[in-house]
Amino acid sequence: MRILVTGGAGFIGSNFTRMALAGRPSWRITVLDKLTYAGRRENLEEVENDPRFEFVHGDICDPNAVSSAMRDCDAVINFAAETHVDRSIDDAFSFVRTDVDGVRVLLEEFRKERRTLFLQISTDEVYGSVEKGWSSEEDRLSPRSPYAASKAGGELLAMSYWTTYGTPVVVTRASNNYGPFQYPEKLIPLFLTNAMDGQPLPLYGDGMNRRDWLFVDDHCRALMKVMENPRPGRVYNIGAGQEYTNREVTELILEAAGASRDLVRLVEDRPGHDRRYALDVGLIGRELGWRAGTPFPEGLRITAQWYADNRPWWETIKSGEFGEYYGKMYGRRLAGPEGGR
């Protein structure tokens, strides 16, 4: 089976590509990636010389690039997306372009030939803030940020192709991922690398926002189950059932990095910050026999060790584009009156 992995040089996409090539000898993978700030060719160094691997530099919004990359592929798994909520608040246009129109371009090319599966990767954020209970696949979507709205738009468009054209589409909605190769704008890699360098940890609001934390390898194993057992028209929640407040995560990060609590700074909260996400993952367990296997403290220990062992990877990032972005987003908050503990 030949699979097109869009966004395969990013965090989850590169982890999926490495795992798939290592564990599925019959799979061949073509990665299509625009190599924007979070897509990094070095994330794929481990598989560059594998004869079953091909890399194509291109944009999912470019029909010509998509047509070329998708040629002879049996299935598509779409990781390509703008994903950071803070960036979406500053620039919603790029999110709509990639997360909605990019999906349209992929679907249009996909349906020109008989292919087996279009797997659209989405997020638990499409459900909005969940104060009590757990979101099931049939719950109403209620996105509350430009990022979440763009992801909801992309998955709704994908499912409309299943209804209208019979395009074999499956959508997965995952909880917060963490693990090796995650770009350091997200909470866990940002706080880990800052703690390792003795830099402040900017904790939003009161730090009591709750998230379910899913180790990236567990997520990738779930996606492989979906690829091997395609059920077009299905939506699957993928979560670990391991909820922690941001304060609790911060404490565990400080412990893992051997850093002082004095580094924590409470800063002005993000606009529209969802209080809690929580997924009911019973469906994927019943139908595909998947469940998360990595306890959060263990996954965090593995992640912390990876960042400790791969300083050049993240130091290069933090000294480049990210440094400017970080200064803009957090510097003014750290310097403000709410910057104390």
Q: Of residues 33, 59, 99, 147, which has the active-site annotation?
A: 147
The single-letter DSSP state of residue 255 is H
Q: In whole angstroms, give the CA distance from residue 183 to residue 33.
A: 15
Please confirm, yes or no, whether 147 is among the known catalytic residues. yes
DSSP for 212-230 reads EEEEHHHHHHHHHHHHHS-
Q: Of residues 59, 124, 155, 185, which has the active-site annotation?
A: 124
SS3 state of residue 269: coil
Q: Provide the residue count of the chain.
A: 341
Which of 286, 273, 152 has the alpha carbon at shortest distance from 209?
273
Q: Of residues 59, 82, 99, 125, which has the active-site annotation?
A: 125
Burial per residue of 208-235, b for 16 or more beta-carbon CB atoms within 10 angstroms, e otherwise: ebbbbbbbbbbbbbbbbbbbeeeeeebb
Q: In whole angstroms, give the CA distance from residue 4 to residue 29.
A: 6
Please confirm, yes or no, whether 125 is among the known catalytic residues. yes
Q: In whole angstroms, give the CA distance from residue 196 to residue 229.
A: 42
Q: Which helix (H) or strand (E) holds 117?
A: strand 117-123
- Active-site residue set: 124-125, 147
